């Protein structure tokens, strides 16, 4: 029975996706930043029925350091004017940061000679994941012919997980919950 439900839900989702993708729409690409928009490059579609969606993200990866970001927002236009529009939105983003480094141990009051060969490096890992989700309201202004700037204020609910792994010390895990009205902004080119 569960396989039938999964298959039915998958087919329903694909059908809705095809309808949304093929619907007549404006689209845009640009830069976004905010707790429920995510950070980085963004792509959005404004459907003729007043609804729309936006996806954004940007990876930064190098040896010992990762900073990954992904955001998804849906919105409803309340009124379309000549030079702008007010909208409501519901967005979610996840931000994951991982940092790994090595350091020489140091104990206060105990001198460590530079030439001592028995010293070893200690490996440290710090990892943070932040999920932000929430509804918001905003305004979008059109300027020139194809550019838009929008600002929205969500009631963002944050779930933060911090994990610290320091060799030779007790692991430090911390979970935080917060509600913060930080603004989202976007600068897009639409066609």
pLDDT of residue 160: 94
How many Cα neighbours within 13 Å face the side chain of 181? 5
Q: Are 92 and 56 in contact (CB under 8 A)?
A: no
Model confidence pLDDT, tens digit, residues 84-130? 999 999 999 999 999 987 876 655 555 555 555 445 677 788 899 99
Per the model's pLDDT, the better-predicted residue between 149 and 22 turns out to be 149
Q: How much is the mean pLDDT over the chain? A: 84
State yes or no: pLDDT of 21 exceeds 70: no
Per the model's pLDDT, the better-predicted residue between 170 and 79 turns out to be 79
Model confidence pLDDT, tens digit, residues 117-172? 445 677 788 899 999 999 999 999 999 889 999 999 999 999 999 888 766 666 77
pLDDT of residue 122: 76
> Residue 171 class from Cβ within 10 Å (0-12 exposed, 13-18 middle, 19+ buried)?
exposed
Domain boundary assignment for the chain: 27-190
Sign of CA dihedral 66, 177, 186, 71: positive
pLDDT of residue 12: 67
Mark 76-113 as b/e (b = at least 16 C-beta within 10 Å): ebeeeeeebbebebebbbbbbbbeeeeeeeeeeeeeee
The CATH architecture of the domain made up of 27-190 is Beta Barrel (2.40)
């Amino acid at each position: 029975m569960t396989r039938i439900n999964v298959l039915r839900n998958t087919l329903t989702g694909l059908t809705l996706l095809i309808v949304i993708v093929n619907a007549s729409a404006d689209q845009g690409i640009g830069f976004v930043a905010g707790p429920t928009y995510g950070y980085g490059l963004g792509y959005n579609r404004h459907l003729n029925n007043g609804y729309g969606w936006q996806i954004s993200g940007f990876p930064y990866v190098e040896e010992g350091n990762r900073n990954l970001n992904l955001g998804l927002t849906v919105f409803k236009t309340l009124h379309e004017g000549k030079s702008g529009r007010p909208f409501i939105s519901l967005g979610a983003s996840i931000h994951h940061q991982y940092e790994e480094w090595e350091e020489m141990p140091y104990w206060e009051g105990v001198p460590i000679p530079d030439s001592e060969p028995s010293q070893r490096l200690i490996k440290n890992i710090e990892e943070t994941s932040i999920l932000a989700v929430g509804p918001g309201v905003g305004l979008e202004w059109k300027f020139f012919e194809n550019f838009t700037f929008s600002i929205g204020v969500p009631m963002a609910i944050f779930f933060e997980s911090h994990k610290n792994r320091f060799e030779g010390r007790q692991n430090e895990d911390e979970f935080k919950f917060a509600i913060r009205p930080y603004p989202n902004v976007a600068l897009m080119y639409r066609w």
